[in-house]
């Protein structure tokens, strides 16, 4: 977690080569800024390098903006993709829901208590089931009917809200609709889903019934980025619970909901603190 109002977080991904850690650290030090956390991963199989740095600029010789601008020269020399974020920062977030409210309630509490640095701009629902929960928390609820109009038009309305509220993160908090490819692309790397199963097993509907019928010994949930491939985006976080022979479908559902809340909150935390780097169909996660 960032240590001061001047902190920067830097994420870097590039082809692996000798001396990358030294080059990046020396650049930061050359401006009298201090690296307070440096996580790096060299993927020997694919020849890639990933890093995340937390930087204290309170005693730096240049403003943080100049330090960011100058890094472009180094980044070009190592053929890097890179991103700076200043902290403290609250990510504008919209929650999409359908019927169940356990993940919604949890995220509202975490946001309002300051546990997660997100600003919930509004909650969008394709049913009215969660409206009372949302309004009781002092938040705006948008109902969009997906049954009385073409789904394409309904999703266009969702997009209008997200655009108007300048949303930077879309969270599908048990939103039981398949997202269209164009919306997935518009929010690539900025849309997170919680799937009530330990993916890649039991994709689609009724995973707890599927799991019960298979006699699984572990039940779980998966937080992942959304892509146009159903339930197949890069995985950020997973949680599991042990299943006993006497547990029925209702028990698995109860245990699974606990996993869902934990996995979704942790996945969002990793994302908003820039602890994830998407690499193809996987996410590199620098856990805290």
- The mean pLDDT value for 41-46 works out to 95
Q: What is the mean pLDDT of the chain?
A: 92
Given a cut of 70, whether residue 256 has pLDDT beyond it is yes
What's the pLDDT tens digit per position in 85-108? Answer: 998 899 999 999 999 999 999 999
- pLDDT, tens digit, 9 for 90 and up, residues 79-89: 999 999 998 89
The partner residues of 37 in beta bridges, in order of sequence, read 54
pLDDT at 117: 96
User: pLDDT class for 247, splitting at 50, 70, 90?
Assistant: confident
Strands 191-195 vs 169-172: parallel, antiparallel or unpaired: parallel
All residues at 6 or more sequence positions from 269 whose CB lies less than 8 Å from its CB, including other chains? 116, 275, 288
Residue, of 215 and 242, whose pLDDT is higher: 242
Going along the chain from its start, the domains and CATH numbers come out as: 8-86 (3.30.70.260), 91-285 (3.40.50.170)
Mean pLDDT in residue range 230-242 = 90
**Residues annotated catalytic, as ranges:** 231
């Amino acid at each position: 977690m960032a240590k001061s109002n001047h902190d920067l977080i830097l994420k870097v991904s590039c082809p692996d080569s000798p001396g990358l850690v030294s080059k990046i650290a020396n650049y930061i030090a050359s401006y009298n800024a201090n690296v307070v956390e440096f996580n790096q991963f060299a993927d020997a199989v694919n020849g890639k390098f990933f890093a995340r740095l937390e930087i204290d600029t309170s005693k730096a010789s240049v403003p943080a903006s100049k330090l960011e601008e100058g890094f472009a020269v180094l980044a070009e020399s190592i053929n890097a993709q890179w991103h700076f974020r200043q902290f403290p920062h609250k990510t504008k977030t919209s929650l999409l829901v359908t019927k169940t409210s356990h993940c919604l309630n949890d995220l509202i509490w975490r946001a309002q208590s300051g546990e997660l640095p997100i600003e919930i701009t509004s909650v969008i629902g394709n049913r009215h089931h969660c409206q009372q929960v949302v309004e009781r928390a002092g938040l705006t609820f948008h109902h969009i009917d997906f049954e009385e109009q073409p789904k394409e038009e309904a999703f266009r309305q969702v997009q209008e809200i997200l655009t108007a509220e300048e949303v930077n993160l879309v969270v599908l908090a048990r939103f039981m609709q398949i997202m269209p490819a164009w919306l997935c692309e518009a929010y690539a790397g900025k849309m997170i889903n919680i799937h009530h199963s330990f993916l890649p097993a039991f994709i689609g509907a009724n995973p707890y019934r599927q799991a019960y019928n298979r006699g699984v010994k572990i039940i779980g949930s998966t937080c992942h980025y959304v892509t146009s491939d159903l339930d197949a985006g890069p995985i950020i976080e997973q949680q599991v619970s042990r299943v006993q022979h006497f547990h029925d479908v209702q028990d698995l559902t109860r245990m699974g909901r606990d996993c869902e809340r934990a996995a979704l909150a942790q996945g969002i935390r990793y994302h908003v603190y820039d602890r994830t780097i998407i690499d193809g169909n996987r996410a590199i996660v620098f856990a805290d």
